[in-house]
Amino acid sequence: MRRIAIFIEILFMAACHKAHEQNNEISKIEIATSGCLRGCPVVGVQIDSSLKLVYYGGYKSKLQGYYEGKITQGIWDTLNFKLKHINCRKIDTSEIFTIDGENAEAVFYWNKQKRHIYRSIYENPDSISDALIWIINCYKRVGLQKSNDSVRFETTYQNMKPPTLSKHQVVFPPSKK
């Protein structure tokens, strides 16, 4: 009986140390954010399965211009896990955005297919917005190098001019929570 218990314990320990291989279905993702009246940064991020990250910083972004870097396999696996969790291949594609809020446009690519979505990322927080924010911020986890090459994004939000106030509009201060 003792031998069986030792054998089961060894099997259990071996199973715990077995590496789990991530099945990554996504081959590329592009996300861009829009500007807003409050000065939201305009950013574009493109990440592909070769672990290459391309960043574009526009209006009000801390990094202006094009940058490139390489993410880790762990970041890529986490990105794929988050996209699988929100079922990115079946997200509603109708536009959900706000007039004066930071909006995101994302394109997910897999097996020669793609899904294009639009989303308000801070006004209506949910698991989709959380995943998009996490992916947008991936550039902060990478050593970026300035790039002289411009990159063609399929997203368009990074090219939009931020909204401006007309002389008849009033900006109210944010509410205190």
Q: Which of 37, 39, 68, 41 is nearest to 157 (CA)?
A: 41
Q: What DSSP state is assigned to residue 111?
A: T
Q: Which fold has domain 28-159?
A: Mago nashi protein (3.30.1560)
Query: Can you tell me whether residue 70 is helix, strand or coil?
Result: strand
Alpha carbon 54 to its chain's center: 12
Tell me the C-alpha distance between 37 and 164, whole Å: 6
Higher pLDDT, 169 or 30: 30
Q: Residue 18: is its pLDDT beyond 50?
A: no
pLDDT, one tens digit per residue, over 86-117 is 888 787 777 666 767 788 899 999 999 999 98
Cβ-based neighbour number of residue 51 at 10 Å: 14
Element (H, E) at 10: helix 2-16
Does pLDDT of 78 surpass 70? yes
Q: What is the SS3 assignment for 125?
A: coil
**32: Cα separation from own chain's centroid:** 9
Domain spans of the chain, in order of start: 28-159
For the ranges 36-45, 46-55, 76-85, which has the lowest average pLDDT?
Answer: 36-45
Tell whether pTM > 0.85.
no
- Contacts of residue 83, Cβ cutoff 8 Å, sequence gap at least 6: 26, 29, 108, 131
Which residue in 154, 138, 144 sits closest to 77, CA to CA? 138
CA 6 from centroid of its chain's CA atoms: 46
Strand order in the sheet with 43-48: 113-120, 103-110, 28-33, 43-48, 52-57, 65-70, 145-146
Look at residue 41 and tell me whether its pLDDT is greater than 50.
yes
Percent of the chain with pLDDT over 70: 74
